[in-house]
Amino acid sequence: MSTLAGIILIGGFAVLMLLKVPVCFAMLVATLGSAAVMGTNFSVMIRQLMDGANNFSLLSIPFFIVMGEFMSAGGISEKIVALANLAVGHFRGGLAYVNVLDSMFFGGISGSAVADVSSLGSMVIPMMKKQGYDEDFAVGLTVTTACQGVLIPPSHNMVIYALAAGGGVSIGTLFMAGLLPGICLGCGMMLMCFVMSKRYNFPKGTGVKKGEGMKVLLDGILPMMTLVIIMVGTGAGVFTATEASAIACVYTMILSIVVFRKVKVSEIGQIIKNSLKTLAIVMTLLATAKAFAYMMTELRIPAAISTFLLGVTDNKIILLLIINIMLLLLGCFMDMAPLITIMTPILLPVVTAVGVDPIHFGVMMIFNLAVGLCTPPVGSALFVGCAIGKTPIERTAKNMLPLYAVMVIVLLSVTYIPDIALILPKLLMGYGG
């Protein structure tokens, strides 16, 4: 009976995904089918669905989503691009560097790769094309650098990982751990831009007009204070990640309405409505993923996979490589939130058994799945970037191979040099992992 239920759960989910059924419905149907075969009371499954969405720590997610919407509506992306242009725009290939740096800045405020691509890409991609950059490179660079947004805090995906890990992982520590890997990804992309600017003679950037530098700096620093609020507040233990998200949300609302005056009070309702659409998708995924994960636990699927992986090898280096490949492949076909919820209970016991720190593994997992946002067939960031740049997905993905290579190199560095993720939590928060 349990074997049949396992086949329905995993096989049914896979078949429904191949039939292009939305992932949350695919998980729900497979879960309920498996529960019916097992004879599990449906009231238990309803409780699991409710528990998936009913958690105090999840309150930070709507605040971060609303914050991102206010930034998009409040013209903050323009301030970020101008600040990045002030810093690196005057070099040869300056606009490519700006593309990387503005994603680093914006990612540290919005925490969303898709928000990054839609907000910044709509400005930077046309600018790069106008200056003569290859359109596939412009789109590809925007898409891949946007993945810094899920690493550099705030990141609601880190909140999801902390909950999926069983509550024993600190969200504030995860935030701090993601900062340096995100910066390393940006530096890797800048190095690639430097090499390509020499090889293909990229146009020299214009930078900022004389006399405007101070205004650009002041306008850009104000949005960046959002990152300071979140990092300093959570890192110093002044407030929790949920409280930090609420304070940062109010701060960006004040910036958009009072300081920059790009948002009218009458537009707040529409911004909240837009946020609810995104929030509904995220929370539905979390609820169904929780029930799916419960059935996997009941069927002992995580234990079986753990036993299998540790039976293949107990060599830490090889095991992490296998897990990286597995997550990269899964990330091509599923969204990040449900994958984190499903795979964390499966893989976390495996990696901790060979001495991998849970915080380090969280950063590694999120980095892996961030690559999936850029890869077909379901890479949401890639879809948005190609829509903005009006380029075919197949051709753009093919021309992004050098950028994928940079991402994988940085990923492997983070995987096998744990201190890239752990050094800041150790130094600034006294983390002993």
pLDDT exceeds cutoff 80 at 37: yes
CA–CA dist 360, 56 (Å, integer): 24
Q: What percent of the chain has pLDDT over 90?
A: 21
Task: Please give, one letter per residue, the 3-state secondary structure of the chain.
Answer: CHHHHHHHHHHHHHHHHHCCCCHHHHHHHHHHHHHHHHCCCHHHHHHHHHHHHCCHHHHHHHHHHHHHHHHHHCCHHHHHHHHHHHHHCCCECHHHHHHHHHHHHHHHHHCCHHHHHHHHHHHHHHHHHHCCCCHHHHHHHHHHHHHHHHCCCCCHHHHHHHHHCCCCCCHHHHHHHHHHHHHHHHHHHHHHHHHHHHHHCCCECCCCCCCCHHHHHHHHHHHHHHHHHHHHHHHCCCCCHHHHHHHHHHHHHHHHHHHCCCCCHHHHHHHHHHHHHHHHHHHHHHHHHHHHHHHHHHCCHHHHHHHHHHHHCCCHHHHHHHHHHHHHHHHCCCCHHHHHHHHHHHHHHHHHHCCCCHHHHHHHHHHHHHHHCCCCCCCHHHHHHHHHHCCCHHHHHHHCHHHHHHHHHHHHHHHHCCHHHHHHHHHHHCCCC
Mean pLDDT throughout 271-276? 86
CA–CA dist 301, 307 (Å, integer): 10
Are 12 and 292 a contacting pair, CB within 8 Å? no
Considering 182-191, 209-218, 372-381, the range whose residues carry the highest mean pLDDT is 182-191
Greater confidence (384 vs 355) lies with 355
pLDDT exceeds cutoff 70 at 281: yes
Query: 62-71, 124-133, 231-240: which range is least confident on average?
Result: 231-240
pLDDT exceeds cutoff 80 at 5: yes
Residues 6+ apart with CB under 8 A from 417: none
Within a 13 Å sphere around the CA of 6, how many CA atoms are in the beta-carbon half? 12
Given this model, what pLDDT does residue 245 score? 81
Are 233 and 243 a contacting pair, CB within 8 Å? yes
Are 123 and 81 a contacting pair, CB within 8 Å? yes
pLDDT exceeds cutoff 90 at 17: no
pLDDT exceeds cutoff 80 at 294: yes
* pLDDT band (50, 70, 90) for residue 207: low
Are 192 and 402 a contacting pair, CB within 8 Å? yes
Given this model, what pLDDT does residue 192 score? 92
* pLDDT band (50, 70, 90) for residue 421: very high
Residue 82 CA: distances (Å) to CA of 42, 73, 194: 54, 17, 20
Domain extent at residue 25: 2-429
pLDDT exceeds cutoff 80 at 58: no
Angle subtended by helix axes 213-235 and 241-254, to nearest 10: 160
Considering 83-92, 159-168, 205-214, the range whose residues carry the highest mean pLDDT is 159-168
Considering its fold, how many domains does the chain have in total?
1
- Across the chain, mean pLDDT equals 85
pLDDT exceeds cutoff 80 at 167: no
Q: In degrees rounded to 5, what are phi and psi of residue 264?
A: -90, 155
pLDDT exceeds cutoff 70 at 433: no
pLDDT exceeds cutoff 70 at 208: no
By C-alpha distance, which of 65, 115, 114, 84 is closest to 248?
Answer: 65
**Tokens 């925490």 label which residue?**
111
Given this model, what pLDDT does residue 311 score? 83
Given this model, what pLDDT does residue 21 score? 84
For residue 195, count other CB atoms closer than 10 A to its CB.
12
pLDDT per position as a tens digit, 301-320:
887 887 888 888 888 999 99
Angle subtended by helix axes 401-416 and 316-331, to nearest 10: 140
Query: 138-142, 186-190, 227-231: which range is least confident on average?
Result: 227-231
Task: State both tokens at 384.
Answer: 């948005």
CA–CA dist 136, 262 (Å, integer): 32
Q: How many residues make up the chain in this entry?
A: 433
Considering 57-61, 168-172, 418-422, the range whose residues carry the highest mean pLDDT is 418-422
Given this model, what pLDDT does residue 432 score? 75
* pLDDT band (50, 70, 90) for residue 178: very high
Mean pLDDT throughout 208-231? 78
Mean pLDDT throughout 145-169? 85
The partner residues of 92 in beta bridges, in order of sequence, read 204
pLDDT per position as a tens digit, 327-337:
998 888 777 88
**Residue 21, Cβ density class (10 Å: 0-12 exposed, 13-18 middle, ≥19 buried):** middle
* pLDDT band (50, 70, 90) for residue 110: low
Cis peptide preceding 302, ω within 30 of 0: no
Mean pLDDT throughout 389-404? 89
CA–CA dist 181, 149 (Å, integer): 11
* pLDDT band (50, 70, 90) for residue 109: low
* pLDDT band (50, 70, 90) for residue 190: very high
Given this model, what pLDDT does residue 321 score? 94
* pLDDT band (50, 70, 90) for residue 94: confident
pLDDT exceeds cutoff 70 at 205: no
